[in-house]
Amino acid sequence: MPVVEAKSVTVKHGQTCVLDAVDIALEPGELVLALGPNGAGKSTLARLVVGLETPSAGTITRSQDARIAYVPQASRRDPSLPLSAGDFLSLSAGGSPAPVTLLGALGTSQLLRRPLAALSGGELRRVLLARALGRSANLLVLDEPLAGVDAASQEPLYRLIAQHTRENGIATLLIAHEVLSVLALADRVLCLDTRLVAEGSPGEIAQNAQFTRLFGAAMTEAAIHVTTDPSCNHRMAAHG
């Protein structure tokens, strides 16, 4: 059974239709990647899934045992808050060591003693990701979780997200601009342009005309390569 299911959800902000009659279902152990241009409704979909926004029409149904962890696109922090990154993770996890352990897996355990307010944007994203992955959640919603993280670090971090999703049976909705770093890791891909214009496996989406319309011919050629080249798939499988 899906952890969350949306049927014909429409969101209007004033006279502007942000999402139009979108259907999705997120299953346990499945990494679903949402792609689309700016203004396509991806962040609105994320807020709908976690319950921070109410649809103008349609329905959102969550399983009774849904436990949500969420990394929003933008995060605010109080510069006067005297918390280290380690304290922040320990408090948010109720004393569980899991987020602190995961921060080490993310390659940034040295941040634990740093004041939260002193972290760079990319460092803060890693801390927020560790917090989300360390929670006992079965629904994980990540909206641009690696924004500001250096390009060389993105692919291994996306592999960690994919591995965590499958090993723990989590339904994960991931929104990302780093298409080529994450595309082949997804189980299913949604292409949004206010409406859900395409849905399928990474290989199917890479060869879909709607993907080319949204991202262009050069991106399409690269996407086909990463989803069909056996060496790419082997390297990714070897890491999770």
Could you state, in order of their start, the residue ranges of all structural domains in the chain? 4-67+138-238, 75-136
CATH superfamily assigned to domain 4-67+138-238:
P-loop containing nucleotide triphosphate hydrolases (3.40.50.300)
Share of the chain above pLDDT 70, in %: 89
SS (H, E, C) the chain: CCCEEEEEEEEEECCEEEEEEEEEEECCCCEEEEECCCCCCHHHHHHHHHCCCCCCEEEEEECCCCCEEEECCCCCCCCCCCCEHHHHHHHHCCCCCHHHHHHHHCCCHHHCCCEHHHCCHHHHHHHHHHHHHHCCCCEEEEECCCCCCCHHHHHHHHHHHHHHHHHCCCEEEEECCCHHHHHHHCCEEEEEECEEEEEECHHHHHCCHHHHHHHCHHHHHHHHHHHHCHHHHHHHHHCC
Query: 174-215 pLDDT, tens per residue?
Result: 999 889 989 999 999 999 999 999 999 999 999 999 999 999
* Amino acid 238: pLDDT: 36
Who has greater pLDDT, 219 or 233?
Answer: 219
